[in-house]
């Protein structure tokens, strides 16, 4: 009977651990899996009120989270390392935190973010002249995310 109890206990414990959202000891959510929903929540947790343009950016930069940069280096935004090449992060959350820090530095430099897409143009985020058009062309509705800023 004790053995059955311990087996059930460990099965339940493992189910909780593999959940995409696990409560930490500080009661802040810890998002383990990278999904569109967890990315939206983590961006909001990092102070981004309208995360959908940034989600589109991550989708574009990573090919729907399937690129080598995403899978191996946890780089969601094509961020560059100071030494050149793509930055490498411990996990996808660190990539989001680095991107949010980059945004804060741009705001301190005097860039306004009234329209996020115009902001990306102003800071010369991408070399591709069709970058904004490509971002706006990503239809999040196909995965159940609806956007009012289209």
How does pLDDT run across 85-99, given as a tens digit for each residue?
999 999 999 999 999
Question: Whole-angstrom Cα distance, residue 28 to residue 31?
Answer: 10
107-146 pLDDT, tens per residue?
Answer: 888 887 788 999 999 999 999 999 999 999 998 877 677 6
For residue 7, pLDDT over 90 is answered with: no
Q: What's residue 135's pLDDT?
A: 96
Q: How confident is the model at residue 147 (pLDDT cuts 50, 70, 90)?
A: low
Residue 23 has pLDDT above 90, yes or no: no
Contact 57, 39 (CB under 8 A): no
Helices (H), 72-136: 92-108, 116-122, 131-136
Supply the pTM of this predicted model.
0.74
Average pLDDT of the segment spanning 54-78: 95
Per-residue pLDDT, averaged over 3-16, amounts to: 40
CB 86 within 8 A of CB 78: yes
Q: Is the pLDDT of residue 29 over 70?
A: no
Query: What is the C-alpha to C-alpha distance for residues 5 and 20, in angstroms, rounded to an integer?
Result: 25
Identify the pLDDT of residue 31: 58
For each of the domains in the chain, give its residue range(s) and CATH number, in order of start: 23-143 (1.10.530.10)
Nearest to 70 by CA among 92, 51, 85: 92
């Amino acid at each position: 009977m004790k053995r059955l109890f311990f087996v059930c206990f460990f099965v339940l414990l493992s189910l909780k651990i593999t959940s995409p959202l696990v409560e930490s000891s500080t009661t802040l959510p810890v998002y383990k899996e990278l999904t569109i929903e967890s990315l939206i929540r983590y961006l909001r947790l990092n102070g981004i009120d309208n995360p959908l343009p940034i989600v589109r950016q991550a989708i574009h930069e990573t090919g729907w989270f399937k690129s080598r940069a995403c899978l191996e280096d946890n780089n969601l935004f094509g961020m560059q390392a100071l030494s050149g090449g793509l930055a490498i992060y411990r996990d996808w959350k660190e990539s989001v935190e680095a991107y949010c820090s980059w945004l804060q530095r741009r705001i301190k430099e005097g860039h306004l973010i009234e329209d996020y897409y115009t902001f990306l143009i102003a800071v010369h985020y991408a070399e591709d002249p069709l970058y904004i058009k490509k971002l706006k062309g990503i239809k999040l509705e196909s995965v159940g995310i609806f956007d009012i800023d289209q």
